[in-house]
């Protein structure tokens, strides 16, 4: 497997504004208004307008984006820029089908799915049945693992299928948008309240999996390209519009072996930094 992973402390992105919104009583009152659908629609309309283009260059500079990695184009709006396409040659995609490649850019943690249907994500416990909106479905993943990819503004915000397979079901679960930054996870049940989409896939090499996309504060819109039929390894599944976002992969017991460095980093309160296509595991019992 690929080694030499970079890491970052899970709490590194906590900011003054997030502390205010989530820990200050006045801030939490303001947040209740910010996350309501009418305001998110207004914000979305602005980010889709030409007026928002003024945000692009400051965003590039603040996040130190390497724009030579992306397809050159003229952006119509900030949201158009946020959904920018990366050059295919920038991401290395393994042709070995028994290895698990990251479905997106992100900061990764991994957790066992416990018998009591809860698991930890960045210092908080979440019921798997609440995340999936189904108690019976949650039972199918007991003993498996949850791999969490937290996307930040500097990441490429498109995500892909990890294997060939068949889409068995897809569900959209409504919710209010909360930031997925770590401080929010500590103070709010973020993954159970955010809007999310759950796709159940019967894969050729990793058994039945669930791939979950979670929206974020303000617009955080999830755009999946299809909800049925077959899928191919490294086929684009969809993308996020503006807002930090999260992709979660659920694996059933004895189906996958996640790189031990990622397990170790998570246990040491570190996120592992990966790019789309980077090897993060392998089929259980397989070679990588």
Candidate list 52, 77, 101, 105, residue with the active-site label: 105
245 is catalytic: yes
Which residue carries 């184009």 as its tokens?
73
Candidate list 52, 101, 124, 245, residue with the active-site label: 245
Give me the active site residues, please.
Answer: 105, 245
């Amino acid at each position: 497997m690929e080694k030499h992973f970079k890491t970052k402390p899970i709490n590194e992105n906590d900011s003054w504004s997030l502390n205010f919104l989530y820990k200050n009583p006045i801030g939490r009152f303001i947040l209740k208004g910010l996350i309501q659908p009418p305001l998110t629609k207004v914000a979305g309309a602005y980010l889709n307008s030409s007026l928002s283009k003024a945000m692009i260059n400051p965003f590039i500079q603040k996040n130190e984006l390497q724009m030579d990695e992306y397809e050159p184009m003229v952006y119509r709006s900030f949201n158009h820029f946020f959904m920018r396409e990366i050059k295919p040659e920038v991401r290395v995609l393994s042709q070995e089908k028994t290895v698990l490649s990251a479905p997106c850019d992100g900061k990764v943690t991994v957790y066992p799915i416990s018998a009591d249907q809860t698991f930890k994500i960045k210092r908080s416990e979440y019921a798997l049945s609440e995340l999936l909106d189904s108690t019976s479905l949650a039972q199918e993943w007991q003993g498996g693992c949850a791999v969490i990819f937290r996307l930040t503004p500097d990441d490429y915000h498109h995500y892909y299928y990890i294997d060939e397979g068949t889409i068995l079901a897809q569900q959209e679960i409504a919710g209010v948008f909360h930031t997925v930054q770590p401080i929010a996870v500590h103070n709010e049940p973020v993954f159970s309240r955010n809007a999310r989409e759950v796709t159940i896939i019967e894969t050729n090499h990793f058994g039945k999996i669930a791939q979950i996309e979670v929206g974020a504060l303000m617009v955080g819109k999830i755009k999946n390209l299809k909800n049925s039929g077959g899928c191919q390894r490294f086929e684009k599944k969809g993308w996020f519009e503006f807002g930090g976002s999260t992709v979660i992969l659920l694996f059933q017991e004895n189906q996958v072996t996640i790189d031990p460095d990622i397990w170790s980093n998570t246990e040491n309160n570190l996120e592992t930094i990966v790019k789309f296509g980077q090897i993060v595991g392998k089929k259980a019992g397989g070679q990588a």
